[in-house]
Amino acid sequence: MRVRRYRGRQGKLERRDGAGVAGGEVRHGKFFDGLPGKGHDVRVTGTGILLSMLVSGCTWVKLDPSARNIRVIEPGQATACKKIGVTRVSLLDKVMGMRRSREKVQEELNTLARNSAVDLGGNAVMADSPVEDGRQVFVVFKCPPA
């Protein structure tokens, strides 16, 4: 019979040869024995699931209904538009020390800029700086109808 050695939670080298443990399975931490995938530490699994939900596609910034007609434009599209202001927007680009997706951060910054443009009376926004630590500057424009 093969003897397994592992370091337990206390750092002690322990020996498991299957005696007293169902099927020779090494167990430590808290478990739900009746669930599929038994043998996993529930605290670590729960933290991993929560962290992946927070860092992944969760959207925290909602578009204001009055901002849904405000466009995000590129520099070439602003030639016929009148600049009416500047808005600086920011959000968290890290959650629990983990960096969020660049695409998701950019999408939410665009949404914040569109929401801000409502207060300035604009109907278009254009990025005026790169994203830096979850912050970005946008120019707000009043453009002729597209």
pLDDT in tens, 84-133: 999 999 998 888 888 898 999 999 999 999 999 999 999 999 999 999 99
Domains of the chain: 4-55 (no CATH), 65-142 (3.30.1660.10)
Task: Give the 3-state secondary structure of residue 40.
Answer: coil
Q: What is the mean pLDDT of residues 1-21?
A: 50
User: Side chain identity at 9, as an amino acid letter?
Assistant: R
Q: What is the pLDDT at residue 96?
A: 85
How do residues 37-84 score in pLDDT, each as one tens digit? Answer: 544 444 445 555 455 554 455 667 899 999 999 999 999 999 999 999
Distance CA 23, CA 30 (A): 18
CA distance readout (Å), 106 to 10, 33, 61, 129: 44, 43, 11, 12
Q: pLDDT at position 97, please?
A: 85
Q: Please state whether the predicted TM-score (pTM) of the whole model is above 0.75.
A: no
Task: Tell me: pLDDT of 23 over 50.
Answer: no
Q: What is the pLDDT of residue 48?
A: 53
Identify the pLDDT of residue 95. Answer: 85
Nearest Cα neighbor of 92 from 135, 57, 127 is 135
CA-nearest of 141, 137, 121, 139 to 89 is: 137
Single-letter amino acid, residue 66: S
The stretch 140-146 carries a mean pLDDT of: 91
Backbone angles phi, psi at 78, to 5 degrees: -95, 5
